[in-house]
Amino acid sequence: MNATMYELELTLNGKKVKDMIPSDMLLIDYLRNVRLLTGSKKACGAGECGACTVLMNGRPIYSCITLALQAQGKEIETIENLSDGDTLHPIQEAYLDAGAVQCGYCTPGMIMSTKALLQKEPQPGTQCIKEAMAGNLCRCTGYQQIIEAVQLASERMEQRRRDS
């Protein structure tokens, strides 16, 4: 049985977009297959690992268990929106500098969860970081480097705020 097609309108990485999609399409599939934004990874398909994390209206969500139509009229931000050409976002730089990137599969989701955290809590403590990152799994780095990356990003972003 074919799914009914619906018009989806949303703001994706700061730009208004409109597409006809099947009613049962997941947001991860819309991002990767329709919009060709492959930074968010499709891994567990059950909202358990966080590799697919994107921001919806500034909040982290698992795009692998979210219907694309749930993004109707909302703002979606993916990892592709963070860097400015070849210039990395301070969060991306911090992950590299802290050694929090190994295979890289979980990294986009980790970075998006970090962005959401730092928007809400610019100077989080270790426990706050652990709680905010609890929905993202990493099989390579261990979590200490990720905690250090979040702390480093927080420091750098605070310094940039003071300098501007």
User: What's the CATH code of the domain at 104?
Assistant: 1.10.150.120
Asked if the model's pLDDT at residue 3 lies above 80, the reply is no
pLDDT for position 1: 59
On whether both 77 and 94 belong to a single domain, the answer is no
Decide which of 50, 81, 112 is a domain's last residue: 81
pLDDT for position 164: 84
On whether both 134 and 159 belong to a single domain, the answer is yes
On whether both 72 and 124 belong to a single domain, the answer is no
Domain that holds residue 148: 90-163
Write the pLDDT tens digit of every residue in 37-67: 999 999 999 999 999 999 999 999 999 999 9
Asked if the model's pLDDT at residue 142 lies above 90, the reply is no
* Number of domains, the chain: 2
Q: What is the DSSP string of the chain?
A: -PPPEEEEEEEETTEEEEEEEETT-BHHHIIIIIS---SS---SSSSSS-TTEEEETTEEEETTSSBGGGGTT-EEE-GGGTSBTTBPPHHHHHHHHTT--SS-SSHHHHHHHHHHHHHH-SS--HHHHHHHTTT---SSS-SHHHHHHHHHHHHHHHHHHHH-
pLDDT for position 155: 97
On whether both 21 and 76 belong to a single domain, the answer is yes
Decide which of 58, 81, 104 is a domain's last residue: 81
Beta bridge partners of 62: 53
Which one has a higher pLDDT value, 84 or 142?
Answer: 84
pLDDT band at 147 (very low <50, low <70, confident <90, very high): very high
pLDDT for position 40: 96
Decide which of 52, 81, 110 is a domain's last residue: 81
Write the pLDDT tens digit of every residue in 89-141: 999 999 999 999 988 899 999 999 999 999 999 999 999 999 999 999 998 87
On whether both 96 and 155 belong to a single domain, the answer is yes
